[in-house]
Amino acid sequence: MAKPLSTLVKQVNPDVVEAAKARAEKEIFEWRLARLREQLNLSQVELAALMDISQPSVANLEKRGIEIKLSSLKRYIEAMGGKVTIDIELPDGQHIDMSC
């Protein structure tokens, strides 16, 4: 009988698991940026024109994942007509919303 994934993960070095989680989070963020653009039926070339940058620069923004600068993310989202807001969760569970 096959073992559940949760059982197998418990047997792996915790550092390896954390590194895998970090990489997955980065790749998911990259995918989400591109998906936002695609939902608006914009190509990288079209978005680049809206941002007044080159298409390779748009590709690089999408590849930066969670390492993207907030100012770059803001330009990227605003070029598509969106708005960036930040939800800060404090240790006590309180949320503070901030607009950029």
| pLDDT at residue 78 greater than cutoff 90 | yes
Of 9 and 88, which is predicted with more confidence?
A: 88
Q: Give per-residue pLDDT as tens, 28-46.
A: 888 888 999 999 999 999 9
What is the fold, at CATH topology level, of the domain defined by 15-99? 434 Repressor (Amino-terminal Domain) (1.10.260)
| pLDDT at residue 99 greater than cutoff 80 | no
Q: What is the pLDDT of residue 22?
A: 81
Where exactly are the structural domains of the chain? 15-99
Mean pLDDT across the stretch 70-95? 93
Question: Average model confidence (pLDDT) for the chain?
Answer: 89
* DSSP result, 36-99: HHHHTT--HHHHHHHHTS-HHHHHHHHHSGGGS-HHHHHHHHHHTT---EEEEE-TTS-EEEEE
Rg for the chain, CA atoms, rounded: 18
Q: What angle do CA 29, 30, 36 make, to 5 degrees?
A: 85
What is the model's pTM?
0.70
> Which stretch, 8-17, 61-70, 88-97, has highest mean pLDDT?
88-97
Q: Quote the CA–CA distance of 83 and 96 in Å, as a whole number.
A: 17
The single residue listed with the structure tokens 């770059």 is 72
DSSP code of residue 12: S
Mean pLDDT across the stretch 64-93? 91
